[in-house]
Structure 1
Amino acid sequence: MASMQYMAGNARAQRREGRARVSATSAFLSFLRDSWRAIREIYLSIILSMLLGIATGVFFARFVSRFYAFPGLVITIPALLAMRGNIFGASCSRVGTALHMGLIGDGRGRILSIEIANTALLSALTSIVIAVFAVYIAQSMGISASYATLGFISMVSALISTAIMIPASYALSVGSYRMGWNPDNVSIPVVATFGDLIMVLSLTATMSIFFAIASFVFEAFTALYAIAILITLMVLGKKGKSPVRAIIVQSLPTLTLCAFISVFAGIIMDARVESMARYSALLFILPVFNEQVGNLGGVLSSRLTSAVHLGTMRVEKLPDNEAVRNFSVIMLVSALTFISLGIISHAISLVGLINSPGLLHMIFLTLVGGLSMMIIVCIISYYLIYSYYKLGLDPDNVVIPLLTTTIDLLGISLIVYLSLIILPL
């Protein structure tokens, strides 16, 4: 009798376990159906971003020796690259929110004019800040960096890249919306990585310009550039509640902090770059890895802030169902992204462009490093939005810069640490 009761109880337990498995499978399939469009849009934009990132990584690996011709320049590179994504990513997030709310009808008008003025001014300001931070830190490390030289390279490369990025970023945001895509899913990854490529090319072009002109010319340009920015700030200061002034006031302190943190990422890279050069795949993977983590984090924060503005997500101490659904979408896309990145990186090594430590090593580095970073990104992104929303500030202005800068520092540190552990000496 006891044996029969045991068997009956065991059968009931197995049926409950079976129903639980069916329920979990059904819930997962339902999640995929509901989120398939977002997953598809994000993954396709990430793949396009990755292809642009590959070009950036190859150029970076090829030109890295030229950057060492200017003492302290390598320290500025993570900050200069990060600022493209920080400034234009935040701008695309604001434009995406405005498109969702119906504030931009025909792709033209006041909001886009404000964004153009805002991105141009922030690009100019942060190029000066980055140069000053980099020279100060380089000199404190015994590197004979020059304010005039690094200032000129930082400013001119920022001007060149901004002139290209402004029309490209807004064309992508408005164009994707008109095509029925969610600009929150597609604009930030493509714009951020395209910005990296343009900045690397702008840096090499600026170095050529530097060698072609007399020293007094670039010194005069650097001084006039700084004076022009100062005058612009004074004019904005007298405009009271100007929309451009409001965005600058909220964004500039955050971007300044981000520039300072990014310079430390450059110090980490500068200290390890020569030993990592044995496997140029690692030099290639650093900007691509960081860019994809930043892109996924930017997509997540943009989707969350749009949901807050549209009222579909509540901002509470613990994430609600809408926030958790967004986390799940991003983590699934992240796994696909970092496996793809490891495979693509190794595949490129097979055609002789770069040296790889091996397929499994590359997948381990990208997948473990990427998913570890994305767990951190989900937490940081949500609570930055929570904090700034409670302070009455627009999360669109500050979350993406803070998030991507934190990612730059942590991402470079993590890849360097993992490479020390698993790669052959």
Structure 2
Amino acid sequence: MTSHVVSAHSEPTLTQALQFAESATQCTRHSMNCQAIVVGLLAALAAVVMGWVPEGKFDLAHGLLLCASSLVTASAASFVLGLVMIAVIVFSRHLNINPDNVATPIAASLGDLTTLALLSWIASLLFDAIDKQPWLAPTLILICLAVAPLWACVAFRNKHTKEVLKTGWTPVISAMLISSMGGLILDFTVANFKGIAVFQPVINGVGGNLVAVQASRISTSLHKDSHLGKLPAYASTVCLNPVTVFYSKWNHSRTARVLLMMVIPGHLIFSYTISYLQAGHTSLTPIFVVVYLTASLIQVVLLLYICHVMIHWMWTQHIDPDNSAIPYLTALGDLLGTSLLAIAFQLLYLVGDKDSDVGD
């Protein structure tokens, strides 16, 4: 009886756990804000250049608006999502749910939704202020650039976030470049097949979320069973053949098979929801469904295999996969998904009646 009372009183409440998590992750949020500001600026500059080169003209006011919107959105979104992730992980542990199974998909989904909502809202406000308050956008840019070094200093002083700040730049910037390649492919393809635009977020979102779950689980397993730089006994080599990755007695092989089994039902639900809402320009004929699902399966198979190789290779190179793997994998998911979707639409166009409705 006494032991139960002591246990009950010694266990922190959910509110206390949230407060502890908030305190423990303040420096992480500073690191995220610093990286978000830098990457947001790079993304805005890339968008300005890509819009300027084809048209041959540059509007300074619109360029400043784009940069300011990107910087403010990146900073605000990283702050909001940091708080959401704290809550998700603490609630998951409180409900005895493995955070690896829910945290990354929620972060990815809410990340897109939150970022797009904030970007559209902030850009609208700044656009309305172009004529009346032309100083607003440059001021916001200067403020964001001024606070970025402060966030970096705070994060660098903390031993838990110092490594993230030092090693987290390459994955994030590389992921941005890889995703941009997928964006170029989409931009080229959507000019010919308008229906691809509504399926691209679906195939990329599903693939990215599934591989993020696998990446989190493998990384957590490595942290539990070994130390950085040395593979555990059950993972003696980095480059396994695909059959071993998907069909072995290893726990992560079973997880990979479960994730693969979720691809077809998930895409069918999303596809027929799109068709029911009449949101696309493509008819869901049997041949379209078969080709689309094949492309989706190929994407996830490739991502799960790359995930296995990448995370174990990073581990042998003393690189923490928690800090580096998921940006690469989700960006590769965007690139592979968009590329395979473009190939699928081109194939459907060739075997069909060669009109814009490739499903017809």
TM-score range, shorter chain: 0.7 to 0.9
- The answer on 1:129 being equivalent to 2:48 is no
CA contact (8 A) 1:128 1:155 kept: yes
Matched residue SS, 2:17? coil
Q: Alignment identity in percent?
A: 19
| Conserved? CA contact 2:30–2:154, under 8 Å | no
Q: Cα RMSD over matched residues?
A: 2.7
Matched, 1:374 2:297: no
| 1:197 equivalent in structure 2 | 113
Residue 92 of structure 2 contacts residue 99 of structure 2 at CA under 8 Å; is this kept in 1? Answer: yes
Match of 1:297?
Answer: 211
Query: Which residue of structure 1 aligns with residue 221 of structure 2?
Result: 307
Q: Secondary structure at the match of 2:319?
A: coil
Superposition deviation, residue 181 in structure 1: 0.9
SS at match of 2:135: helix
Q: 2: CA distance between counterparts of 1:341 and 1:409?
A: 18
Superposed, 1:150-161 pairs within 5 Å as 150-161=66-77
Question: How far did 1:142 drift?
Answer: 4.3
> How has the CA–CA distance of structure 1 residues 241 and 353 changed in structure 2, closer, same or farther, with 3 Å as cutoff?
closer
Please list, as runs of the form range in 1=range in 2, the aligned pairs for 1:105-254 lying within 5 A after superposition. 106-107=17-18, 108-109=20-21, 111-142=24-55, 144=57, 147-213=63-129, 214-233=133-152, 235=153, 239=156, 242-254=159-171
- Contact residue 254 and residue 398 of structure 1 kept, 8 A: yes
Report the CA distance between 1:341 and its aligned residue. Answer: 1.6
- Which residue of 2 is the match for residue 27 of structure 1? none
Tell me the distance in 1 between the aligned counterparts of 2:300 and 2:110: 22
Check if 1:270 corresponds to 2:187: yes
User: How far does residue 220 in structure 1 lie from its aligned partner after superposition?
Assistant: 2.3
| Partner Cα distance (1:137, 1:262) in 2 | 14
CA distance change for structure 1 residues 228 and 302 in 2, over 3 Å: closer, same or farther? same
CA contact (8 A) 2:29 2:79 kept: no
Other structure's SS at 1:392 match: coil
Moved more, 332-341 or 197-206: 332-341
For residues 143 and 196 of structure 1, the distance between their equivalents in structure 2, rounded to whole angstroms, comes to 31
Shift, 1:373, TM fit: 1.2
The answer to whether the Cα contact below 8 Å between 1:343 and 1:363 also exists between their aligned partners in 2 is no
For 1:10-89, what aligned pairs fall within 5 Å after superposition?
A: none
Farther-moved stretch of structure 1 (194-203 vs 340-349): 340-349
- Indicate conservation of the 8 Å contact 1:334/1:370, yes or no: no
Decide whether aligned partners of structure 1 residues 244 and 340 sit closer, same or farther in structure 2, where only a CA change above 3 A counts. Answer: closer
Q: Pairwise mapping of residues 271-420 of structure 1 onto structure 2 (< 5 A)?
A: 271-277=188-194, 279=195, 282-311=196-225, 313-314=234-235, 316-319=237-240, 324-420=250-346
The answer for unaligned runs of 5 or more in structure 1 is 1-104
The verdict on how the C-alpha distance between 1:258 and 1:409 changes in structure 2, with shifts beyond 3 A counting, is same
TM-score of the aligned structures, taking structure 2 as reference length: 0.78
**2:85, 2:67 → 1: CA distance?**
26
Aligned partners of 2:158, 2:84: CA distance in 1, in Å? 29
| Superposed CA offset, 1:290-348 (max 9, x none) | 01101111111111011111117535234588885423423333333333323432243
The C-alpha deviation readout for 1:152-185, integer Å capped at 9, x for no partner, is 1211222342343122122111211210111101
TM-score by length of 1: 0.67
Of stretches 210-219 and 168-177 in structure 1, the one that deviates more from structure 2 is 210-219
- Separation in structure 2 between the aligned mates of residue 223 and residue 240 of structure 1, nearest angstrom: 24
Q: Distance in 2 between matches of 1:421 and 1:362?
A: 10
What do the CA deviations read for 1:120-155 (whole angstroms, capped 9, x no partner)? 322222111212233334434446465423211211
| Structure 2 residue identity aligned to 1:317 | V
Q: How far did 1:283 drift? A: 1.8
Confirm or deny: 8 A CA contact 2:263 2:297 kept in the other structure: no
Native 8 Å contact 2:29 2:78 kept in 1: no
Could you list the runs of 5+ residues in structure 2 that have no partner in the other structure?
1-15, 226-231, 356-360
User: Is the 8 Å Cα contact of residues 173 and 183 (structure 1) preserved in structure 2?
Assistant: yes
Equivalent residues of 1:290, 1:408 under 8 A apart = yes
User: Deviations for 1:349-403, whole angstroms, at most 9, x for unmatched residues?
Assistant: 2343433321424532442112111221122112211222112121110010111
Q: Contact conserved, 2:181 with 2:335, CA < 8 A, in 1?
A: yes
CA distance in 1, matches of 2:87, 2:271: 30
2:181, 2:51 → 1: CA distance? 10
Distance 1:343 1:187 in 2: 22
Residue 335 of structure 1 contacts residue 371 of structure 1 at CA under 8 Å; is this kept in 2?
A: no
| CA separation of 1:371 and 1:390: change in aligned 2, threshold 3 A | same
Q: Secondary structure at the match of 1:215?
A: coil
Task: Note the C-alpha offset of 1:189.
Answer: 0.9
**2:264, 2:293 within 8 Å by CA — same for their partners in 1?**
yes
1:364 to 1:328, Cα distance in 2 relative to 1, 3 A? farther
